[in-house]
Structure 1
Amino acid sequence: MSDERRSELAANLERVRGRITAAAEAAGRDPAELTLVVVTKTYPASDVALLAELGVTDVGENRHPEAGRKRDEAAEAGARLRWHFVGGLQTNKANAVTRYADAVHSVDRLRLVTALESGAAAAGRRIDAYVQVNLEGRDDEPAGRAGAAPADVRSVADAIASAEHLRLAGVMTVAPLDADPDDAFARLSEVAAEVRAEHPGAVAISAGMSGDLEQAVAHGATHVRIGRSVLGERPALG
């Protein structure tokens, strides 16, 4: 079964990498600028180990404690990977997440910055942090779902940049449902430029998933978060 699964993952990875390359070239960009983060939520650690064998360097998870357990199991199998926490994060779980995550893409409020800084300091680690931007509704209204409203991004970014054990990597978004992702990614590009104007090192843009990676790359994404197109249909949650 592992040989069959390995072949399936290899074929899927080849297709996704081809899409990323084509999207980058269409946008006049170097494909080497793009990082593929394979989102492995609900898939077993055995898949993560196979991905590592196939050259994947970055994986994403969105639930704790599943993410921590899987990281440990994959490490025991010999996988050496960069772990990205990409899901909404409760403040009271931030301390635990900093023990294994190398990057957190979902920082959307000042209290979470404080909690992540405290956890990273206790763990003796430095974590990359992305400001998650909510692009639903008007820029000046409170976010209805995960993510900081665009008007609040600067304060969150400044707090991350001031934290000793966090590094401001850039910004992240999830395109709104039932809307043209081009509009969201274009707006994210503007927000990213505003953040870079104050923090020149914050160059990362985490955007794009299986259904919209091409649009994200066209608008400057540096990290695309792909699950289904690499791993197949998601297993049912137990």
Structure 2
Amino acid sequence: MLPAIAGALARVRGELDLAAKAAGRDPGAVSLVAVSKFHPEAAVRAAMAAGQRVFGENRVQEALGKFALLRQEPTPFRLHIIGGLQTNKARDAVRIADVIETLDRPKLADAIADASEREGRLPDLLVQVNVGDEAQKGGVAMAEADAFIESVHARFGTRLRGLMCIPPAETDPKPHFLWLQACAARHGLAELSMGMSGDFTDAIACGATEVRVGTAIFGHRPPAGTADVPTPSL
């Protein structure tokens, strides 16, 4: 497992560096979030052994099961919650995450604020914007984004770091990435989480400060609920 994941990480990092340089940007300004959803703890450890220090998980319960023990070990890492977050999972997310990327509605903001008070900590926050206004996706609607971002900033201050999006599939993602970049600039937000395995080079060209890559690093995800099986070869 280690050689396959280490090799995949090296390839992705190489592509990230080339994309940043082609855009006239410093490769060090773009963070790679390795999305370990449904992959076993052993795959995370293999990525850590290859130098990866930032991970993304969709489900809070899976993140707790996979990363709670790793928190007790000396290797530092940062954990991002990148999936839709239910209000009843907000306290667990606040407890385990360094970054919550999917803040998208007032009730969730309320739940995070309450959880932060109870836990005595507050992760960094990103507002997710539904840049395609797709009914099946999470994220605040584009027309409501400015007002919601202002309300989150007023409530959480500098813990609001930036914005996140998932553009519509099978469309040119660049207009969506550029829209998010402009929105972040209006609000003085520095972080832009956009771009995944299939489009992260375009995202970097449009100003992404972090890209979320899973399949290109860990291979195709095993079915949900089978994260304890070995990761398929890449």
- Common fold, TM-score beyond 0.5? yes
User: Bigger CA drift: 67-76 or 102-111?
Assistant: 67-76
Q: What is the percent sequence identity of the aligned residues?
A: 38
Asked if 1:211 is matched to 2:207, the reply is no
Q: Do the aligned residues in 1 keep the contact of 2:6 with 2:46 (CA within 8 Å)?
A: no
Does the Cα contact within 8 Å between 1:98 and 1:123 map onto a contact in 2?
yes
Corresponding residue number in structure 2 for 1:236: 223
The equivalent of 1:107 in structure 2 is 103
* Closer, same or farther: CA 96–83 of 1 in aligned 2, 3 Å: same
TM superposition shift of 1:165:
8.2
Q: CA contact under 8 A between 1:49 and 1:79: conserved in structure 2?
A: no
Q: Is the 8 A contact 1:38 1:59 kept in 2?
A: yes
Say if 1:134 and 1:87 are closer, same or farther in 2 by CA, change over 3 A: same
Map 1:1-238 to 2 at 5 A: 5-76=1-72, 78-137=74-133, 145-164=137-156, 167-196=159-188, 202-238=189-225
Counterpart AA for 2:113 = E
Give the Å deviation of 1:233: 1.2
The whole-number CA distance in structure 2 between the counterparts of 1:159 and 1:45 is: 37
- TM (norm. structure 2) is 0.90
Letter in 1 for 2:51: G
Aligned residue pairs total 225
For normalisation by structure 1, the TM-score amounts to: 0.89
Structure 1 unmatched runs, 5+: 197-201
Q: Following the alignment from structure 2 to structure 1, what is the Cα–Cα distance between the partners of residues 139 and 181? A: 15
Shift of 1:204: 0.1
CA distance 1:161–1:195, shift in 2 (3 Å): same
CA pair 166-64 structure 1, distance change in 2 beyond 3 A? farther
What secondary structure sits across from 1:193 in the alignment? helix
**Structure 1 residue 227: Cα displacement:** 0.2
Letter in 2 for 1:48: V
Superposed CA RMSD: 1.7
Gaps of 5+ in 2: 226-234
Higher RCO (C-alpha under 8 Å, 6+ residues apart): 2
Residue 166 of structure 1, CA deviation:
7.1
Q: Name the residue aligned to 1:199.
A: none
